[in-house]
Structure 1
Amino acid sequence: MRIAVKLTCAGVLAMVAGCSSLNPFASKPAPRNPPAALADFKQTLAVRTAWSASVGSAGTFFFTPSVVGNSVFAAAADGTVARLDVANGRAIWRINAGAPLTAGVGSDGNTVAVAAEKGVLMAFDGDGKLRWKTQASSEILSAPAVGQGLVVVRSVDNRIAAYEAETGTRRWVVQRTSPPLTLRTAPGITIAGTAAYVALPGGRLVALALTNGGPRWEVAVGDPKGTTELERIADLSGAPFVAGRDVCAVAYQGRVACFDAATGAPRWAKELSSDVGVAVDETNVYASDERGTVNAFSRDTGSGVWRNNKLANRGLSTPVALARSVAVGDYQGYIHFLSREDGALVARAGTDGSPVIAASPLAGPNNAIFQTRAGLLVALATD
């Protein structure tokens, strides 16, 4: 059900409207795959809330916080953009962009980029002052990537464009073909070194040169299969994760895989379907599949290390590696901590009861920052 509501296609919308019940008081059938109940377990990892702050509701969009140095940057659907102190969550500044937002936030500490409705891209300086805004070719649902003096975005028409961070002048644009049917999710962009690693609908991962947008390599993480367009959805999920010489990604109805970041040469690939991204640490790659099973794979070989299916159908977020654990959020706002060694549940923390939509990179050796759909930004620390 979580996947179905994200489909974006005029034909699908019409089909959904046609299939809706004429009786508004008809009882709803029980869900085919009910969420797993929260099981009791012995908590062996101490978890505490370092701080929390409200930034505003995400609405129907996918907002991700960005941690750069001593600051956390966050945004909300009502136009809020905020910079907070990573140590205590206190607002350094908080502004309103002057328009409803659809994606954010991307930052390198000096430039803060968000996307507004109707494809407007906006950039602020490190003090929250508007630097420039420009019009993209269509709506932007993924957080802009900021780095190497550029702001890089992908719009829903599958056009990737780079803008000068200081002036907003467009440096280059790359147009890609869009599949007939895609998930209304936010496949992301990661800037590392001199390349932008772009997750695309249709299961493709492409590395583009930051200088001119030229493709360095392109690989398939998911291959469209099946006889119907619905069966052939194979979109990449979340943002590619770059760690050292590896870049890892996962696709819906596809695979989880790692590649050489410089050449695109495959390291390994395993069948897996996910609509959220991956996490990587020194030894493992972590991915939550669409059924709520959290998987750990060897970063070197791709062999399975462990699986945990105790959180089935709980709408899990992208995992984040945190000290001795791996943390994932769920649809009720709980953060679950799993052992990095064997995947066993070791701790659980509550937030505000709304779905956890994003987790930031580590803000320190033992804490991570999560954002909920209702707009709570919470930093959880492990001892």
Structure 2
Amino acid sequence: MRCHRWPLSRYPFLAGLLVWLLAGCSATDTFEQPAPVPEVVSTVLLKKVWATSVADGHDDRLLQLAPWVADDTIYAVSSRGVLFALNAADGTRKWREQLETRILSGVSGDQARLYLVSENARLMALSRDAGERLWEAALPNESIVAPQSNGSIVVAQTIDGKVLGFDAQTGEKRWQYDGVVPVLTLRAAAPPLVGRELTLASFANGRLLALSTETGQPLWQYRIGEPKGRTELERLVDVTSQPLILEGAALVTGYQGKLALVDLRGGREIWSRPSSSLHTPMIGQGHIFVSEANGDIVAYDGRSREKVWTQDKLAWRQTTQPLVVDDHLLVGDFEGFVHVLSLTDGSLQGQLKYDSDGLRVPMQPLHDGVLVYGNSGKLTLFKLETRS
């Protein structure tokens, strides 16, 4: 069996497998060379509305520092701790704050505060109006995902599977749940989803867990991935995507697991299909769209759950979470290309080379357009235009 030893910088989600890759061949040997950039005659164009730069961006640290948008303000942070508040309409700066610490997580927030995690495992709460530090709390280990808040409780999840709830106003620790994490995991994680009553947390053992937001007590769990095979790599399952909530149910995906719809009241499976994905699925025009771990983009019929189409020209290009914009589906890749697909048949209708350092964090809808944050720190609002 032939060994593949490609640079981890090209495969950031495999950074957690470093020991295995250096040891030689795996039993599966499934990771393949990325497909070449497909040739596309663009009929859909990405027109720049405004552009700016967020300092050094991700700084080659394999982080996922997604911006947070609220009340026409974009909050974005760089790995070296430069925090920006930008006007969503034109990208102009409202304020800039140097946090004097490196950052591991993206920024998130609630009605009054912003939340970040520093590289020394400190959960920080800052004011939304000026970035003033309000309180800090120690975490038991690093956290690479943005803390999440419902305005009353802020929840952080660490790389060793601990989920912690803090009082959003004071920073006082309210509860802690200790999850089980296998020795071998992916270098990625899902932010907890914090509601008024339920907090959904995803774990590297392939499970989705519902906790009481108030007390942290476990209420139910659902297994997205079941370890199979003989080797550790074959048995690797992980959940690195945040659930998508749909009318009392959660649409979930997992690596070497499945795409499933789960009842929020008790964790009962409504339906499922085999799937392997690192990203949250998206919906649009009655379809469910999944960016598979191998780079394929797959559309399922929302009623029958049967596959409608598969776009395989982006194989192993580390495609990002898909985003539905009007009649189109957008995904980015590790070389910094933004690809525009048709929702109807998955055909490639547009392409833009955006950031030579690559794209990792999800693109976000904003003002009938799309907000793109590249690994180098480039932040741009685009609008889609159809070429006549």
1:133 has 2:127 as partner: no
Cα distance in 1 for residues equivalent to 2:204 and 2:248: 24
Give 2:359's match in structure 1, choosing from 350, 356, 362: 356
Give per-residue Cα distances to partners, 1:322-371, cap 9 Å, x unaligned.
1111110011111111111111112122212221111244223x212222
Report the AA paired with residue 192 of structure 2. Answer: I
Report the AA paired with residue 233 of structure 1. Answer: L
Report the AA paired with residue 298 of structure 1. Answer: D
Answer with 127-136 or 225-234: which moved more.
Answer: 225-234
Indicate how the Cα distance of structure 1 residues 3 and 187 shifts in structure 2: closer, same or farther if over 3 A, else same.
farther
Which residue number in structure 1 is paired with residue 188 of structure 2? 185
Which residue number in structure 1 is paired with residue 125 of structure 2? 123
Extract unaligned runs of 5+ from structure 1: 21-30
Please report how far the alpha carbon of residue 87 of structure 1 lies from its aligned counterpart in structure 2 after TM superposition: 1.2
Please report how far the alpha carbon of residue 300 of structure 1 lies from its aligned counterpart in structure 2 after TM superposition: 3.7
Please report how far the alpha carbon of residue 4 of structure 1 lies from its aligned counterpart in structure 2 after TM superposition: 7.6
Indicate how the Cα distance of structure 1 residues 252 and 378 shifts in structure 2: closer, same or farther if over 3 A, else same.
same
Which residue number in structure 1 is paired with residue 370 of structure 2? 368
1:255 has 2:258 as partner: yes
Which residue number in structure 1 is paired with residue 155 of structure 2? 152
Cα distance in 2 for residues equivalent to 1:84 and 1:229: 45
Q: Percent identity?
A: 25
Say which structure is richer in strand: 1
Which residue number in structure 2 is paired with residue 98 of structure 1? 100
Indicate how the Cα distance of structure 1 residues 7 and 353 shifts in structure 2: closer, same or farther if over 3 A, else same.
closer
Residues 351, 378 of structure 1: 8 Å contact kept: no
Please report how far the alpha carbon of residue 32 of structure 1 lies from its aligned counterpart in structure 2 after TM superposition: 7.1
Cα distance in 2 for residues equivalent to 1:5 and 1:201: 13
Residues 111, 146 of structure 1: 8 Å contact kept: no
Residues 241, 280 of structure 1: 8 Å contact kept: no
Where has structure 1 moved over 4 Å in runs of 4 or more?
1-5, 15-20
Which residue number in structure 1 is paired with residue 47 of structure 2? 48
Please report how far the alpha carbon of residue 17 of structure 1 lies from its aligned counterpart in structure 2 after TM superposition: 5.6
Alignment RMSD (CA, Å): 2.2
Which residue number in structure 2 is paired with residue 80 of structure 1? 82
Indicate how the Cα distance of structure 1 residues 194 and 360 shifts in structure 2: closer, same or farther if over 3 A, else same.
farther
Which residue number in structure 2 is paired with residue 296 of structure 1? 299
Residues 292, 312 of structure 1: 8 Å contact kept: yes
Answer with 51-60 or 71-80: which moved more.
Answer: 51-60
Residues 339, 348 of structure 2: 8 Å contact kept: yes
Residues 45, 351 of structure 2: 8 Å contact kept: no
Cα distance in 2 for residues equivalent to 1:32 and 1:208: 35
Which residue number in structure 2 is paired with residue 305 of structure 1? 308
Please report how far the alpha carbon of residue 109 of structure 1 lies from its aligned counterpart in structure 2 after TM superposition: 4.3
Q: Secondary structure at the match of 1:6?
A: helix
Cα distance in 2 for residues equivalent to 1:327 and 1:247: 22
When normalised by structure 1's length, the TM-score is 0.89
Aligned residues: 369
When normalised by structure 2's length, the TM-score is 0.88
